């Protein structure tokens, strides 16, 4: 038996006001570009989330429980969908109700918190877990970290948090001669299972599908299923992980992506040994074939498969250090609103916009970047951060003054 495991990533950051300037520091505390966020949410919902959710519902119904997919949806995406496109949430709930859809755990804010603050990382994961439970009635046992950022330490930490399965990129330099098409186990773990993305087959859909310069273009479901079928005998598990926006947003409807998916299960089932599986089931059905050692961080981004899309240049380093340096003071304010504003600044996209790698991955970066240059992105982010710092400073100062006043107040004479 060979199982196909689909996992789709759903994420929308809270984008900041591109015009937030030095003059706004200390004067204007509204950071989000509500208009841009709403417009993008509307666009992606109508092009992708709504038609694709409907298609998946249709396929699950048609194949009577044999077609399965899993999702990881960030808290910030959910918040925006609840605000702008609540019908999308309803469709996700309908998918959850089929019993064929698994929802994974991740950081609520799609953050790099694991690299900067373990306590906050844990908080965000638990916040996300609670949200998934409240919305979809599932308690996730599979974890995926932001942008599939992963190493041995993360796996260990996640195992200690009680998860059964974790997801990572099947990077060449990690796998070496080994195939991603098996279940693995992280080096220092004994219970946790590791699913590695088959990036070649995933990217055939996510990136190459509509590329007319690609020798396999146009990609038909029949041909693609044939490639999967050829793995029979030298693999057990094919992990196809990609952004959900692939369907209808990155690959537009007129590329034929929806028709491809509509036919795909039928083509897969033409081979009797093939089935669909969700991550938590994969961990039950299969046994790890080997341990995988990942001492250094890997991710699913760019050709480097490392952290350089978010961290590494001076701007990214200074911005991330500055924002995480605020953690203690932010927590001290005990103001849930301020804490959530700060958390939203941790979303990895803000650092991605500051990336100065304009080589082979420049096009992808540009596509996702609302700013003209990474320098603009940095300036806006730092301006916002400086305003938040001032707000927090003033809040803590006025609290200290109030406390002082309380101490100095005479004790009322109760005998009167």
Partner 1 sequence: MKVLMFGWEFPPFISGGLGVACYGIVKGLNNNNVEIKLVLPTTGGQKTDLPVEICPADKIVISETYKKKLAQTMSSTTGKEMLSGIISPYETSVSGGDFFNRYQNMINELNIQGKDTILAFTGNYGRDLMAEVFRYSIIGEFLGSLGDFDIIHAHDWLTILAGVGAKRLSGKPLVIQIHATEVDRSGSSINSNIFNIEKYGMEQADRIIAVSYYTKNIIVNKYGIDPHKVTVVHNAVEKKTQLERLGIQKNLDEKYVLFLGRVTMQKGPDYFIEAANLVLKKIKNIRFVMAGSGDMMPRLIERAAALKITDRFHFTGFLNNRQQVERMYAMSDLYVMPSVSEPFGITAFEALLYDVPIILSKQSGVAEVLRGAMKVDFWDVPKLASAIVTLLEDEKLSKEMVESCKHELQDIHWNTASQKIKNLYHSLLFHNSH
Active site amino acids: 147
Kindly state whether residue 21 participates in binding partner 1, applying the rule CB under 8 A: yes
Query: Nearer to partner 1 by C-beta: 70 or 320?
Result: 320
Extract the tokens encoding 259: 């028709």
**Does 345 sit near partner 1 (CB under 8 A)?**
no
Given candidates 319, 338, 355, 384, which one binds partner 1 under the rule CB under 8 A? 319
Residue 16 near partner 1 by CB under 8 A? no
DSSP string computed for 71-97: EEE-HHHHHHHHHH-HHHHHHHHHHHH
Q: How far is the CB of 381 from partner 1 (least distance, A)?
A: 10
**Binding segment toward partner 1, per CB under 8 A, in 16-24, 70-78, 224-232, 271-279:** 16-24
| Single residue of 317, 360, 398, 404 touching partner 1 by CB under 8 A | 317
Residue in the structure block whose two tokens are 């992808």: 364
Task: Choose between 242 and 380: whose C-beta lies nearer to partner 1.
Answer: 380
Instruction: Please tell me whether residue 313 binds partner 1 under the rule CB under 8 A.
Output: yes
CB 148 within 8 A of CB 300: yes
Q: Does 27 bind partner 1 (CB under 8 A)?
A: yes
Give the C-alpha separation, 238 to 68, whole Å. 13
282 vs 307, beta carbon nearer partner 1: 307
Of 30, 214, 358, 375, which lies in the binding site for partner 1, with binding defined by CB under 8 A?
375
Q: Extract the tokens encoding 280.
A: 């938590």
User: Chain-centre distance of CA 220, in angstroms?
Assistant: 28
Of the two residues 114 and 351, which places its CB atom closer to partner 1 in the complex? Answer: 351
- Please, where are the H alpha helices in 9-49? 34-44
State the alpha helices, DSSP H only, in 137-255.
152-160, 172-175, 199-206, 221-229
Closer to partner 1 by CB, 142 or 320: give it: 320
**Under the criterion CB under 8 A, does residue 358 sit at the interface with partner 1?**
no
**Between residues 28 and 127, which has the closer beta carbon with respect to partner 1?**
28
Based on the shown chain and the rule CB under 8 A, indicate whether residue 303 belongs to the binding site for partner 1: no
User: What backbone phi and psi angles, to 5 degrees, belong to 252?
Assistant: -70, 165
Place of tokens 């600044």: 345
Site membership for partner 1, residue 379 (CB under 8 A): yes
Q: Which helix or strand (DSSP H or E) is residue 157 part of?
A: helix 152-160
- Cβ atoms of 192 and 186 within 8 Å: the answer is yes
Answer yes or no whether residue 390 interacts with partner 1 by CB under 8 A.
yes
Which element (helix H / strand E) includes 269?
helix 257-269
Of the candidates 73, 72, 79, the residue with the CA atom closest to the CA atom of residue 32: 79
308 contacts partner 1 (rule: CB under 8 A): no
By CB under 8 A, is residue 369 in contact with partner 1?
no
Site for partner 1 (CB under 8 A): which residue of 167, 282, 382, 388?
382
Residue among 108, 114, 113 nearest 133 (CA): 108
By CB neighbour count within 10 A (0-12 exposed, 13-18 middle, 19+ buried), where does 187 fall? middle
Q: Any contact of residue 315 with partner 1 (CB under 8 A)?
A: yes
The two structure tokens encoding residue 320: 């991330």
Contacts of 328 (CB under 8 A, 6+ apart): none
# chain residues binding partner 1, by CB under 8 A: 25
Tell me how far, at minimum, the Cβ of 13 lies from partner 1, in Å.
21
Please pick, from the candidates 322, 339, 364, 396, the single residue that binds partner 1 as defined by CB under 8 A: 322
Q: Please identify which residue in 2, 25, 345, 392 interacts with partner 1, judged by CB under 8 A.
A: 25
> What is the spatial distance between Cα 203 and Cα 221, in angstroms, rounded to a whole number?
15
- Among residues 383, 384, 388, 392, the one that binds partner 1 under rule CB under 8 A: 383
Residue (32 or 390) nearer to partner 1, CB: 390
Please count the other Cβ atoms lying within 10 Å of the Cβ belonging to residue 58.
12
**Residue numbers of the site for partner 1 (CB under 8 A)?**
21-27, 313-315, 317-319, 321-322, 373, 375, 378-379, 382-383, 385-386, 389-390
């Amino acid at each position: 038996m060979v199982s196909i495991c689909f996992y789709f990533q759903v994420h929308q950051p809270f984008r900041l006001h591109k015009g937030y300037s030095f003059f706004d520091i200390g004067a204007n505390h509204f950071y989000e570009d509500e208009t841009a966020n709403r417009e993008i949410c509307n666009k992606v919902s109508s092009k992708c989330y709504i038609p694709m959710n409907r298609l998946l519902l249709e396929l699950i119904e048609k194949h009577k429980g044999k077609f399965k997919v899993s999702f990881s949806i960030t808290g910030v995406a959910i918040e925006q969908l609840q605000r702008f496109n609540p019908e999308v949430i309803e469709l996700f709930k309908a998918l959850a109700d089929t019993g064929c859809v698994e929802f994974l755990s991740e950081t609520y804010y799609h953050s790099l918190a694991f690299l900067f603050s373990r306590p906050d990382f844990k908080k965000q994961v638990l916040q996300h877990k609670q949200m998934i439970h409240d919305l979809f009635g599932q308690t996730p046992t599979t974890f995926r970290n932001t942008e599939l950022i992963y190493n041995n330490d993360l796996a260990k930490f996640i195992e200690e948090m009680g998860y059964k399965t974790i997801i990572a990129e099947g990077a060449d330099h990690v796998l070496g001669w080994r195939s991603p098409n098996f279940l693995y186990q992280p080096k220092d773990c004994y219970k946790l299972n590791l699913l590695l993305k088959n990036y070649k087959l995933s990217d055939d859909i996510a990136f190459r599908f509509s590329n007319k310069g690609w020798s396999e273009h146009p990609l038909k479901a029949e041909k693609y299923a044939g490639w999967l079928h050829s793995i029979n005998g030298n693999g057990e598990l094919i992990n196809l992980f990609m952004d959900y926006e692939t369907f209808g947003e990155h690959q537009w409807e007129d590329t034929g992506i929806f028709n491809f998916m509509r036919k795909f299960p039928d083509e897969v089932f033409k081979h009797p040994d093939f089935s669909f599986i969700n991550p938590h089931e994969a961990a039950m059905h299969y046994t790890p074939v080997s341990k995988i050692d990942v001492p250094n961080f890997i991710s699913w981004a760019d050709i480097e498969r490392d952290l350089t899309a978010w961290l590494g240049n001076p701007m990214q380093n200074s911005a991330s250090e500055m924002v995480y340096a605020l953690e203690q003071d932010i927590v001290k304010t005990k103001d849930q609103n301020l804490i959530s504003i700060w958390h939203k600044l941790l979303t990895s996209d803000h650092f991605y916009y500051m990336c100065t790698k304009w080589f082979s991955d420049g096009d992808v970066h540009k596509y996702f970047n609302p700013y003209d240059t990474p320098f603009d992105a940095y300036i806006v982010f730092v301006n916002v951060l400086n305003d938040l710092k001032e707000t927090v400073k003033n809040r803590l100062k006025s609290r200290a003054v109030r406390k002082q006043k309380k101490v100095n107040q005479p004790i009322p004479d109760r005998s009167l």
